[in-house]
Amino acid sequence: ASNYTSNIRELEGALIRAVAYISISGLSMTVENVRPVLNPASAKVEASAESVLMVVADAFDVSIEDIKSNSRRREISWARQIGMYLMRQHTDLSLPRIGEEFGGKDHTTVMYSCEKIAQLKNSDPNLEQKLRQLSDRINIASRPQT
């Protein structure tokens, strides 16, 4: 609560994010478990390409092999585009390197996917929430084990 001093809306938003995060992740409500949601800047952890792929594959109920494939099935290509966007957000990998992680895709494919998801996120609150949830899961998966 001491991090949110400007207004009650910020505090209420933080509480709602923490409760939603705990219910989605299945973790217990502790300061350590909700810190990534309450203070995202301090929780920024460099994710591995593998952790992004695992989280996306799990969330969309597809295999990593499917995501890396050339399949044009809607659910697979959607998961692939989301994965490319999240990998761009959570790693310092270049566009060509991200393309390699997704089965040798061209850097322009990665660029298109990132731009498309960013644009859709701005007009679709459900997608924005889904991306936030996936980002939280990536942060947890990438956090050093203590």
Q: Can you spell out the DSSP letters for 17-82? A: HHHHHHHHH-----HHHHHHHH-TTTT--PPPHHHHHHHHHHHHT--HHHHHS----HHHHHHHHH
Q: Tell me whether residue 135 is in a domain.
A: yes
**137's tokens:** 């899961």
Cβ pair 71, 63 in contact under 8 A: no
Same-domain check for residues 69 and 121: yes
Residue 22: pLDDT band by 50, 70, 90 thresholds? confident
Residue 109: pLDDT band by 50, 70, 90 thresholds? very high
Same-domain check for residues 56 and 124: yes
Same-domain check for residues 93 and 74: yes
Same-domain check for residues 65 and 128: yes
Cα 120 to Cα 143: distance, rounded to the nearest angstrom: 28
Same-domain check for residues 69 and 126: yes
> Does the structure show a pLDDT above 70 at 136?
yes
pTM: 0.70
Tokens 């270049």, located at residue: 94
Instruction: Check residue 13 and give its pLDDT.
Output: 78
Residue 33: pLDDT band by 50, 70, 90 thresholds? confident
Q: Tell me whether residue 1 is in a domain.
A: no
Q: Classify burial at 98, counting beta carbons within 10 Å of its beta carbon; exposed 0-12, middle 13-18, buried 19 or more.
A: buried
Q: Tell me whether residue 111 is in a domain.
A: yes
Q: Which span out of 31-40, 43-52, 106-115, 137-146 was modeled with the highest average pLDDT?
A: 106-115
Same-domain check for residues 105 and 136: yes
Domain count for the chain: 2
- Write out the residue range of the structural domain in which residue 85 sits: 49-142
> Does the structure show a pLDDT above 60 at 145?
no
Residue 43: pLDDT band by 50, 70, 90 thresholds? very low
CA nearest 98: which of 139, 52, 56, 129? Answer: 52
Residue 52: pLDDT band by 50, 70, 90 thresholds? very high
Cα 64 to Cα 103: distance, rounded to the nearest angstrom: 10
Same-domain check for residues 72 and 123: yes
